[in-house]
Structure 1
């Protein structure tokens, strides 16, 4: 923060006023219960573009149009997932596959005799991974629910599958359960 103050005093003032607490702008303070680390405004902008046709109408009409749009979207997504044969939704699965090499080449895991490992990166930094708690000190796994490269390194060291460590919200069976709710 002192470095920030020396670079841009206005930014420092904005970051330190009580109206803008760090939990709104800094990943270190994000809630890890939601399995999402997004801190951009694109979701709001996308939603606004999606409802553009309905925005100028009376409230009841807006709600009705949104209800129908959401029903159609849910139906399309449900059909897509019926045709998908993996256990994990496609995007988290792609992230796991993409980072396989990084986990193998960039990280070395050393276990404590249990389910906690110290993972050393190729750059020399170290992170602690707890497989039971599904946490890593880099916090990426905690925030997204998808194992980070440090966690994958530890998981591979145990000869286990990273797919088994993905948050339940990304599992296809969770989608199937929603059918009965």
Structure 2
């Protein structure tokens, strides 16, 4: 806290007003507050599959394939229209992945 105070007095005052158990990692509880732990990614994916679950397996897999392809296209479109700078390491990795993905064949 002394280091934070030396850098920014306002941040120090803000944090002092809040109990440390809400912002300090050292004060977080190690036990879960509920008996199930759900991952937002899997929950979101499962919510997309609600309609497909009642279908035969091949049709369900085809629905999943189409959903993923549409999602990838949407994300690729968003990334292509970025108008801000990306960190050099991230940009290098992105260009590498783009170059590798040009050989992919959707089927």
TM-score by structure 2 length?
Answer: 0.49
**TM-score of the two chains, using structure 1 as the length reference:** 0.32
Identify the structure with the greater strand proportion: 1
Query: If you compute each CA radius of gyration, which structure gives the higher value, 1 or 2?
Result: 2
Higher relative contact order (CA 8 A, sep 6+): 1
Higher helix share: 2
